[in-house]
Amino acid sequence: MRNLFQIVSGLCYLSSQQIVHRDLAARNCLVRGETVAETRRDRDAVLDMSALSKLPAICYATVQISDFGMSRRLYGQMDYYRMQNHALLPVRWLPPEAINESKFSTSSDIWALGVTIWEVFSYGEVPFAELNNFEVVSCAVAGVRPPRPKSCPLGIYELMQRCWAVHPDDRIRPEEVLLDPCLTTSLNEFIGAFPT
């Protein structure tokens, strides 16, 4: 949950800077892990090695959104970017308006966030892996969404569904995702499990 919280925080920042990523996916989220022992060693150089060896090896991870090659800044009053050329696009992460009209916005990044969350809970599976790209496009336009992963709590899947609303204006905003009770409750439980 902490990892998802960091991805959503990154998306909030991009939105605040009027940047549309256009390629948000698990493959573009970098993870750096360290254990509690490493963290405390960095923070407190006077900690002796005997105390260090008794600390639990709990892993902390820092997640950052990467690969800004397709990103675009929105200027002025524009709340979307319309792609002019026919570049290769990651159709399994694209909403209907990006597929049909080449229209990208924070709302299209939110759609991709929903797919990214799905990837996390499906342990890295590719969405609609059994379908070709043309079939995936047909599914997106027809309202077919990836099924709930077995390990995914119902509240998180409902959050994904809010990311996948057909109309961009009906999708949840990045700040709302950050404050969603299913994400914040799980994060607080996660944080509470660690020693202070």
On whether the pTM is more than 0.75, the answer is yes
Q: What residues pair up with 81 in beta bridges, in sequence order?
A: 104
Residue 195 maps to a domain: no
Residue 84 maps to a domain: yes
Q: Output the CA–CA distances (angstroms, integers) from residue 177 to 5, 164, 166, in the order listed.
A: 9, 13, 17
What does the pLDDT read at residue 12? 93
Number of domain units in the chain: 1
Residue 141 maps to a domain: yes
What does the pLDDT read at residue 93? 94
131: domain range?
Answer: 1-181
Residue 192 maps to a domain: no
User: Residues 107-127: pLDDT tens digits?
Assistant: 999 999 999 999 999 999 999
Q: Output the CA–CA distances (angstroms, integers) from residue 12 to 22, 34, 101, 149, in the order listed.
A: 14, 25, 24, 25
Q: Which residue has the higher pLDDT, 119 or 80?
A: 119
Residue 82 maps to a domain: yes
Q: What is the mean pLDDT of the chain?
A: 81
What does the pLDDT read at residue 41? 47
What does the pLDDT read at residue 90? 86
User: Residues 131-174: pLDDT tens digits?
Assistant: 999 999 899 889 899 999 998 999 999 999 999 999 999 999 99
Kindly indicate the confidence band of residue 77, based on its pLDDT and cuts at 50, 70 and 90: low
State phi, psi for 33 to the nearest 5 degrees. Answer: -110, 150
Q: Give the list of residues 6+ apart from residue 130 with CB closer than 8 angstroms, or none.
A: none
Quote the crossing angle between the two packed helices 106-121 and 2-16, to the nearest 10°.
170
- pLDDT above 80 for 8: yes
Asked whether the beta carbons of 21 and 109 are under 8 A apart, the reply is yes
Residue 94 maps to a domain: yes
CATH number at residue 145: 1.10.510.10
Residue 194 maps to a domain: no
Residue with tokens 């914040």: 184
Residue 188 maps to a domain: no
23 is catalytic: yes
